[in-house]
Structure formats: C-alpha cells, structure tokens
C-alpha cells in the first residue's frame, strides 16, 4: 500500500459534475465515488470537487460546512467570489463550490439541461482550478470527466501553468462521446481561454463544423485520455467517435479504455438495506423473498414463484435502444414472463411514448412501467429480477449489467462497448464455460433481441439447475473497482514520474 505524501502515494483531485449518491444522474456519478474510494483504499490522497447544486442530496454529506475562505475566480471579464463548502461523502473529502454569481448557476433545481450549461460548467471548471491553485496544494493528478469539466485541460496548460501551477498532470475520462460540449468559439473566452489560440483544427475547433468542441480540447490538452471500456475505446476510433475519431487517432498513444468497476459496498445484496431480505450466492431463498416482496409492492401477479421476472433500469434515451426496450416488454408478455421497467426520459416524446405503454398495460398484472428515477426501488428490482435487459445501440461501459449480475439477475445484452467486455454468451462454445455469464445478441433489431430472450427463457424454465448455477456464478464475479483502479494507478504513476523527471 502506498502512503499519501510518499513518492508512490499520489494526491489526486477529481473535478466532476456528478458523484454518487450526493449528485447522481447516471454512471458518471458511480465512477467518481467508486474509483475514488478504490484509489483511497490503495493509499492515495483523493479529493473531489463538485458544484454545490441546490438539488443535491445534502443528507448524504457528513460534516458539511462552509470554509472560512472565499475563492475568487475569473469569468467574463470580472472576478467573482465562491463560497467553498467541505464535507465527506462515502468517506471521501469533497469540496463544493458555490458561486456568488448573479446567474445563480447551480440554483436551478436540476443538474443539467439548462440553456446556459456551457456557461455554468466553464465557470465551474475555472473556479475548481482556482481553488486548487489558491490552496497551494501539491496535486499530482487532476482528473476531469466529460465535457462539463473538460475545460480544465486547456485552462490548466494555457492559463495556470503560466502562473507556475504546473506540477500536476491532467487525466481526462470521456464517459460518452455522444456529449462533446460545443459552442461558438467566442464563448471560450468567458472562462479566460484564448479564443484565437484555441480555435484551430489541431486544438479545439470541431472537426466538422466551425464551432469549438470542449471534449476535443481535453483530448488534445490532457496528458492521459481514457474512456470506460476497451471495446468502446476501439469503437470510438471509428464512427463511434462522433467526429472525434481522427483526433483520437492522432492522440492514440495517450488514449486507452479501462472498464469501469462497480461500488461493491453500495451494490451488495448481503448488506443492502433497501432489500426486504439480504442474501448471497449460497442463499437464493433470500433472492426469492425479494421477488415476492416486489411483486406485492407493485401489485404484480404472484401465484407462480417461478414465473420469470425481467428487469430494466435505465435512462430512456435513444442510446439505450428504446425501441428494443419496448419490444422486450411485449416479448416478455408473449413468453409468459413479468417485466418491470424503471426509467425516466429527458426526451418528452420518449417519455410520452412510454407513458402510453404504461397505460396500455395498467390492468395487466405482469407488466409494470415506473417512469421515474428512484434509487431505493432500483436496488429492489435488481434483487427481485431473474433476468436483466440492456439492449443498447451503443454503451460506453454500462453499469447495470454488472450490478444485475451481482444481484443474481442474468443479463441479456447487445454486444457493444462495455457490454461486450463484461457479458459473455452462455451458449457460445468458443469461450470457456467459466466466463459465460449471460445472453448476448449482435444486431440491434427485434429479431436479435427475441432470439437471446428465447434462449434465456428456455434455459430458465427447462433447466432450473443449470440456471441456478449460472445465477450463483454471476453473483460471485468480481466487478469491484480493484482491478480497474490499479490500471488508473499505473497510468497516474507513470505520468507523475514523467512530471517529476521534467521538473
């Protein structure tokens, strides 16, 4: 184990827009706390910097207090005060930045989706770096995530390094290349970046339109660039890169894919307080009790304990294969199973469509659609379900298939991105039996999904003993952050060593 402050114990600061459970929209939040905790366990000093959102779950922060300092940061030609709050989330020290800016950037009752998101997060990126700079901390690694904090990379090297704040190295992780953060070039100046210097094809100008692209800027300016699975890292070098493929090819020497882990403290059926009954791989009776409890809670038919229950927990956005999720509902009904969907959509048309499906099935006691975000209920669905559907069109990593397996729910997924790196087809004789853990399909069409579902239902109903062994095997797979955190540790150490050598 490395000790903080020793040559191998690193000081790592994550600057991010989300962190579970205090400010969570999706997988990014899980990564910040899961990876942060794993690195802390390895002996590194890990700190997190987040915006202080009005809508965050303050009850998830211990010892939340305002620090007796005001950090001033630059924006649109003026200096603004920022209140700095500190607290502990999941054992990790967190700094929350509350800007004293008339636009009330983080008093919007939601995390994203505001007309001025580009402004809000470029402000935050600048203020977060200013906090590190003014604190005099000797940080080794500044790790920023997704477009919201991608501004950190060019700001660090073009602004702060010139002030002598240059001992750290920048790691940027793109959790999804669909969201790249683009704006007219002049908007870069708001946070103090030099528009003329950066609005160039080899720096921040988008590869296909005249605007600037913040994720591109982070790819160009960071010392390390990662994405969240090896397969997705390959996919984004071609059309999956959404226009950034050539940039990623140019910078391929510093780019790699590391599969996310899951937080095995949060996601642990043997200690999970949200469950009716805790259970483990040796006690599937406990799992059955959770299935019975959920059926009761949702008013689902419960005459046949062995009637298979299919779960799906997702943001309802095109990436997740919404037409295939819809198909899975009808297919489950046809195959005689039960289906529970927990999902909400930021896209009004999709939300309306699923409200229509929910209404259609409201008197059917085998199908339930819960169109909301509900963390507690998500735990109960993982525990209660026998199978879990993830039919994504693309999926950078995906956490739900791993969480599902940990709770003994067998995944049925499309072979793409991180799903391809974590789910291996039960019937594929080309791979060793011990790693086969779910059902996969390749083509993003109804036929492909139906085939995988039929094979899963067949195995479940005709070979209960085989199914039971599959469930137990899935529950015992190590999806902890341990291995992936070691990979991050390795690339951080190498970058920090190069920084020391350069100094």
Cβ distance 370 to 300 under 8 Å? no
User: What pairs with residue 212 in β-bridges?
Assistant: 183, 205
Binding mask 202-241 for ligand ADP (x = CB under 6 A): ----------------------------------------
Min dist CB 428 to ligand ADP, Å, is 23
Min dist CB 314 to ligand ADP, Å, is 5
Question: Which one, 127 or 377, has the nearer CB to ligand ADP?
Answer: 377
Min dist CB 54 to ligand ADP, Å, is 20
Two tokens, residue 31? 């990564």
**Ranges within 243-272 binding ligand ADP (CB under 6 A):** none
Which of 126, 134, 35 has the alpha carbon at shortest distance from 73? 126
Question: Which one, 205 or 276, has the nearer CB to ligand ADP?
Answer: 276
- Alpha helix stretches (DSSP H) within 42-184: 117-135, 146-150, 152-155
Cβ distance 314 to 320 under 8 Å? yes
- Alpha helix stretches (DSSP H) within 343-441: 348-360, 375-384, 400-406, 417-422
Stretch that binds ligand ADP, among 94-102, 300-308, 352-360, 371-379 (CB under 6 A): 371-379
Question: Which one, 169 or 406, has the nearer CB to ligand ADP?
Answer: 406
344 is a contact residue toward ligand ADP (CB under 6 A)? yes
342 is a contact residue toward ligand ADP (CB under 6 A)? yes
Cβ distance 414 to 408 under 8 Å? no
SS3 136: coil
Question: Which one, 132 or 233, has the nearer CB to ligand ADP?
Answer: 233
> Cα separation of 426 and 53, whole Å?
44
Q: Which of 122, 223, 314, 422 binds ligand ADP (CB under 6 A)?
A: 314
Stretch that binds ligand ADP, among 106-114, 312-320, 330-338, 431-439 (CB under 6 A): 312-320
Give buried/exposed letters for 211-231 (b at 16+ CB in 10 A, else e). Answer: bbbbbbbbbbbbbbbbbbbbb
Per-residue HEC secondary structure of 199-262 comes to: CCCCCCECCCCCCEEHHHHHHHHCCEEEECCHHHHHHCCCHHHCCCHHHHHHCHHHEEECCCCC
Q: Which of 116, 375, 427, 490 binds ligand ADP (CB under 6 A)?
A: 375
26 is a contact residue toward ligand ADP (CB under 6 A)? yes
- Tell me, rounded to whole angstroms, the distance of Cα 358 from its chain centroid: 27
Question: Which one, 340 or 397, has the nearer CB to ligand ADP?
Answer: 397
Q: Which of 168, 313, 322, 384 binds ligand ADP (CB under 6 A)?
A: 313
Q: Which residue is nearest to ligand ADP (CB)?
A: 27
* Distant-in-sequence contacts of 79-87, Cβ < 8 A, 24+ apart: 82/127, 82/130, 82/131, 83/52, 84/131, 85/52, 87/61, 87/62, 87/63
Segment holding 148, helix H or strand E: helix 146-150
Fill in the DSSP letter of residue 157: I
SS3 413: strand
Question: Which one, 112 or 373, has the nearer CB to ligand ADP?
Answer: 373
Question: Which one, 73 or 401, has the nearer CB to ligand ADP?
Answer: 401
374 is a contact residue toward ligand ADP (CB under 6 A)? yes
Which of 144, 167, 141, 160 has the alpha carbon at shortest distance from 219? 144
378 is a contact residue toward ligand ADP (CB under 6 A)? yes
Stretch that binds ligand ADP, among 7-15, 141-149, 192-200, 395-403 (CB under 6 A): 395-403
> Cα separation of 172 and 153, whole Å?
8
Do the strands 410-414 and 439-441 form a parallel or antiparallel pair, or are they unpaired?
parallel
127 is a contact residue toward ligand ADP (CB under 6 A)? no
Q: Which of 343, 408, 417, 438 binds ligand ADP (CB under 6 A)?
A: 343
27 is a contact residue toward ligand ADP (CB under 6 A)? yes
Cβ distance 328 to 339 under 8 Å? yes
Cβ distance 37 to 165 under 8 Å? no
Min dist CB 422 to ligand ADP, Å, is 11
> Cα separation of 449 and 327, whole Å?
8
Site size toward ligand ADP (CB under 6 A) is 17
Min dist CB 315 to ligand ADP, Å, is 5
Min dist CB 458 to ligand ADP, Å, is 27
168 is a contact residue toward ligand ADP (CB under 6 A)? no
400 is a contact residue toward ligand ADP (CB under 6 A)? yes
Q: Which of 18, 30, 146, 386 binds ligand ADP (CB under 6 A)?
A: 30
315 is a contact residue toward ligand ADP (CB under 6 A)? yes
Stretch that binds ligand ADP, among 70-78, 122-130, 160-168, 336-344 (CB under 6 A): 336-344
Question: Which one, 26 or 230, has the nearer CB to ligand ADP?
Answer: 26
Question: Which one, 56 or 342, has the nearer CB to ligand ADP?
Answer: 342
Segment holding 430, helix H or strand E: none
420 is a contact residue toward ligand ADP (CB under 6 A)? no
Question: Which one, 207 or 268, has the nearer CB to ligand ADP?
Answer: 268
> Cα separation of 419 and 392, whole Å?
9
> Cα separation of 173 and 226, whole Å?
5
Min dist CB 344 to ligand ADP, Å, is 5
345 is a contact residue toward ligand ADP (CB under 6 A)? no
Q: Which residues bind ligand ADP (CB under 6 A)?
A: 26-27, 30, 313-315, 342-344, 373-375, 378, 397-400
């Amino acid at each position: 184990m490395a000790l903080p402050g020793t040559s191998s114990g690193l000081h790592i600061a994550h600057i991010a827009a989300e962190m579970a459970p205090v400010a969570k929209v999706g997988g990014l939040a899980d990564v910040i706390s899961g990876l942060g905790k794993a690195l802390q366990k390895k002996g590194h000093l890990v700190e997190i910097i987040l915006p202080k959102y009005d809508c965050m779950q303050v009850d998830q922060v211990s010892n939340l207090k305002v620090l007796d300092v005001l950090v001033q940061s630059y924006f649109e030609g003026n200096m603004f005060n920022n209140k700095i709050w500190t607290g502990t989330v999941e054992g990790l020290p967190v700094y929350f930045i509350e800007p004293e800016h008339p636009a009330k950037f983080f008093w919007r009752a939601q995390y994203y989706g505001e007309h001025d998101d580009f402004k809000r997060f470029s402000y935050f990126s600048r203020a977060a770096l200013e906090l590190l700079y003014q604190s005099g901390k000797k940080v080794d690694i500044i790790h920023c995530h997704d477009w919201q904090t991608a501004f950190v990379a060019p700001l660090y090297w073009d602004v702060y390094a010139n002030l002598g704040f240059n001992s750290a190295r920048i790691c940027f992780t793109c959790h999804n290349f669909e969201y790249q953060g683009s704006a007219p070039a002049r908007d870069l100046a708001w946070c103090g970046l030099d528009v003329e210097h950066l609005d160039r094809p080899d720096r921040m100008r988008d590869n296909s339109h005249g605007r600037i692209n913040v994720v591109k800027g982070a790819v160009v300016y960071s010392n390390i660039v990662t994405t969240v699975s090896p397969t997705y890292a390959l996919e984004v070098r071609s059309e999956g890169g959404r226009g950034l493929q050539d940039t990623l090819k140019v910078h391929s020497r510093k780019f790699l894919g590391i599969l996310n882990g899951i937080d095995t403290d949060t996601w642990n059926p043997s200690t999970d307080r949200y469950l009716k009954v805790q259970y483990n791989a040796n006690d599937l009776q406990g799992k059955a009790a959770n299935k019975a409890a959920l059926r009761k809670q949702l008013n689902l038919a419960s005459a046949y304990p062995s009637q298979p229950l299919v779960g799906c927990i997702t943001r309802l956005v095109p990436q997740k294969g919404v037409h295939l999720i819809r198909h899975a509902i009808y297919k489950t009904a046809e195959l005689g199973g039960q289906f529970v969907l927990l999902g909400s959509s930021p896209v009004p048309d999709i939300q309306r469509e699923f409200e229509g499906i929910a209404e259609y099935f409201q008197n059917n006691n085998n199908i339930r659609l819960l169109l909301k975000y509900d963390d507690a209920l998500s735990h109960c669905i993982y525990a209660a379900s026998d199978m879990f559907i993830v039919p994504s069109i693309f999926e950078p990593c995906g956490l739900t298939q791993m969480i599902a397996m940990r709770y003994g729910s067998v995944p049925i997924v499309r072979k793409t991105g991180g799903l391809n790196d974590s789910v291996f087809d039960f019937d594929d004789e080309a791979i060793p039996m011990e790693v086969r853990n779910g059902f996969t399909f390749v083509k993003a069409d109804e036929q492909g999904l139906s085939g995988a579902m039929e094979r899963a239902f067949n195995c479940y109903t005709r070979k209960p003993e085989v199914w039971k062994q599959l469930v137990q095997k899935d529950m015992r797979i190590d999806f902890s952050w341990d291995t992936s955190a070691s990979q991050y540790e390795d690339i951080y150490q190498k970058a920090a060593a190069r920084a020391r050598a350069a100094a």
